Amino acid sequence: MKIDVVSIFPEYLAGLQLSLIGKAVDQGLLDLTVHDLRDFTFDRHNTVDDSPYGGGAGMVMKAEPWALALENILDEPKAAGAGTPQKSILIVPSPAGPVFNQRIAEELSEAEHLVFACGRYEGIDQRVIDWSAEHFDLRPMSIGDYVLNGGEVASMVMIEAVSRLVPGVIGNPESLTEESHEDGLLEYPIYTKPASWRGRDVPDILLSGNHGAIARWRRDRRLELTAEVRPDLLAELQDLDKHDRAVVE
């Protein structure tokens, strides 16, 4: 998967070189490039913003540097995949987008090319957003109902959630299926040695060796926890059997 990020703070994205994502880049599983929007300005001050037409507080990111940066990305050669090439997906982090979730992460993990346009200030001139829809599969995307200063942190959140689903990025693919949000339930509590710690014991059943009983116990804890802290997730689930329903009620 090719991932391009455009930002006026490319250093912000440096964290992506660490840990699993960094390793995936080193291994060639991800081709990740961070571009500095100011490289696409030609005035002495490398201006990327200006005051809003119609007045109002704050500044607006100018259209032309964005168009040049995005055209530069589209002009770069891409690895030839099988069949007809997919349109590059342009993700524009914005509190005014649909809210990113695990389903969307799964969908995006199958894309050949993702581009993240990190806006700052009050946002980007609408005309370059409209223009981009003619060249990209345009996806405005929020990461939750709160306000951030710019799209960098939101992009890192989405890149991490998507990249770990790309085949090979996580060593043990089983760890992907046994996770919160993967099937709509939160994860069960986990324990490691010692079996007794500061007067707190690991639940007996986990030491029993009875794998069926352990699986049932874990599912029950997941159902209980989800009912307690995220009843909204539970309401969306269709496949609860009679036993599941008894645990939740």
Q: Count residues binding ligand 6GU (CB under 6 A).
A: 13
- Chosen residue from 29, 59, 74, 148 binding ligand 6GU by CB under 6 A: 148
Contact letters for ligand 6GU, residues 212-241 (x by CB under 6 A): ------------------------------
- Kindly report each contact of residues 231-236 with a partner whose C-beta sits within 8 Å and lies 24 or more positions away, as own/partner: 233/184, 233/185, 233/186, 234/184, 234/185, 236/184
Q: How far is the CB of 167 from ligand 6GU (least distance, A)?
A: 26
Residue 197 exposed, middle or buried by CB count within 10 Å (0-12, 13-18, 19+): exposed
Residue closer to ligand 6GU by CB (options 12, 188) is 12
Cis peptide bond upstream of 52, omega within 30: no
What does residue 214 show for φ and ψ, rounded to 5 degrees?
Answer: -65, -45
- The nearer residue to ligand 6GU, 149 or 196, going by C-beta atoms, is 149
Choose, by CB under 6 A, the member of 150, 187, 216, 247 that binds ligand 6GU. 150
Q: How far apart are CA 206 and CA 229, in angstroms?
A: 24
Residue 137 φ/ψ, nearest 5 degrees: -85, 100
Q: How far is the CB of 140 from ligand 6GU (least distance, A)?
A: 8
Q: Pick from 94, 132, 163, 226 the residue near ligand 6GU by CB under 6 A.
A: 94
- Reference 230, options 180, 195, 167, 176; nearest CA is 180
Which range, of 101-109, 138-146, 174-182, 185-193, touches ligand 6GU by CB under 6 A? 138-146
